[in-house]
Every structure is written in structure tokens, then in C-alpha cells.
Amino acid sequence: MTEVIKVKLQLRFLFVLTFIRKSRHVRLLTPQPFALTGRAAQLSVVCEEELTRHMLMALQGIEGTYIICRGDKHAELQLSSMLAVDDTLRVQLLRLLPIANAYLQLRHESQKPTSDRLARAFSTGLSEVLASYMGLISMLYTKYMSNPRLFTCLDILVALSNWEILLPLFLKLVCVFERLKGMQIFNMLCSIYWSTANQFVQQFLYALLRPMLYIFHDCLHNWLVYGRLVDPGFQ
């Protein structure tokens, strides 16, 4: 019995040695990094929280890593081509980008110099409108910073639902006004103001008209009090 046990122990020992020798030649496969496939392959995947922050910056006319500015003459903010996002989120981003681009263009137009007094007054009114918009964006950014996980691009879209109409509309008006003089701008604004039924749009149309009306009131005052009749546009 003792010899049998010895033989068994020797066989086990030989088996262990053989296994150890073979294990030296075994190659351990390094773990492969996680990679996306299909539509998102080779793209940067960004969480919605980070994209919300970048969109809030874009709505202030500031480009970033994932929302970039392209174009020479008329720069536009666009989504980076190497950005992978959910289709629903992409739709929300694409709806917000026209607001950001309209603000960017309107800010540029409001800073253009002009010798026409009424046109300068229009630019002043436009600056007031943009200041109201920026006040809302600042409030939204504060909400985002207080709780980033609970504040999404959909919340921004809901908050800017009226501005989604207003800013692109004002951008179209500014493009038309480029070839008009101050008095023509005033007449057209008055016509649009009295014909619109949207109270939100009407409110900010009046904000455009108010600085221009101050000029007319000043001209009327000079005429009635001092007998001086001055061209309101100094044309």
C-alpha cells in the first residue's frame, strides 16, 4: 500500500510540473477597450449633461468642443461631425441651433455703425431685445448649474419656445432693413406691429419701436416749443 501511495504522489507531482511548464507558454489576452459599432463608430459619445452645458454656451454665441462655428462671412454654429448623440436629443439640438445662430447674427447687426439717427435707434431697441434674451439664458444657466442632472436640452427648448419664433423673425427683418433708411424701417415696423396677433412678438416689436418713438417725441417737442422742425433721421 505504501508503494502504491508513493507512485500516486509521484504521478501527481509530474502532472503539476507538466502543467506549470505549459502555462509559461500561455499568452494572456489584454482586455480590449470598449468600442462603439454601427452609426456611432469612431465618434465621440457625450452625455446629455455635458451637451446641455455646451448648448447653453452656444445660445450665448460661444462655440465649444461639440458645437463649433463654421463659415467665414456669416459664421454659423453647427454640431460637430464627430459627435454621437441619441436621435431624440439630436432633434432638440437642431431646433436650438437656429436660435443660437439668430442671436449671433443679430448681435453682429446691432453693433454696426450708421449715421442714420432712426437706424441707430433701431439698433438700440434691438440691443434691448437681445439683453432680455440673454437674461433668460443666464437664468437657465443658473438652473443648470444648481442641478445639472435634472436640467436637459428639452427644458431649454420649452423655455425658449417663444424665442424660437422671435429671433429668426427679427433676423429676417434685419436682413430686409439693410437696404432701407430709418424712416422706412420705422414705417415697416409700425405696419408689422399693428398686424401681428402674437402678444410676445408684439411686445418686442414695441421694444424696437420705443427708441425710435423717443426721437419723434423730441422732434415734436422742438417744433411745438421752439418752432424748429428737424428731420428725425437727419437724412
pLDDT of residue 115: 81
Full-model pTM = 0.74
Residue 26 belongs to what H/E stretch? none
Q: CA-to-CA distance for 159 and 204, rounded, in angstroms?
A: 17
Which residue do the cell numbers 436682413 mark? Answer: 175
pLDDT of residue 31: 46
Q: CA-to-CA distance for 221 and 233, rounded, in angstroms?
A: 16
**Which phi and psi angles does 85 have, rounded to 5°?**
-135, 160
pLDDT tens column, 102-116 = 999 999 999 888 888
Produce one character per residue of 145-168: b if its CB has 16 or more CB atoms within 10 Å, e if not. Answer: eeeeeebbbeebbeebeebeebbb
Decide if 97 contacts 77 (C-beta within 8 A): yes
Residues of the chain falling short of pLDDT 70: 1-45, 71-74, 221, 223, 227, 229-235
Query: How open is the CA angle 196-199-204, to the nearest 5 degrees?
Result: 85
Decide if 102 contacts 92 (C-beta within 8 A): no
Which residue do the cell numbers 442714420 mark? Answer: 116
pLDDT of residue 133: 96
pLDDT of residue 32: 45
pLDDT tens column, 168-180 = 999 999 999 888 8
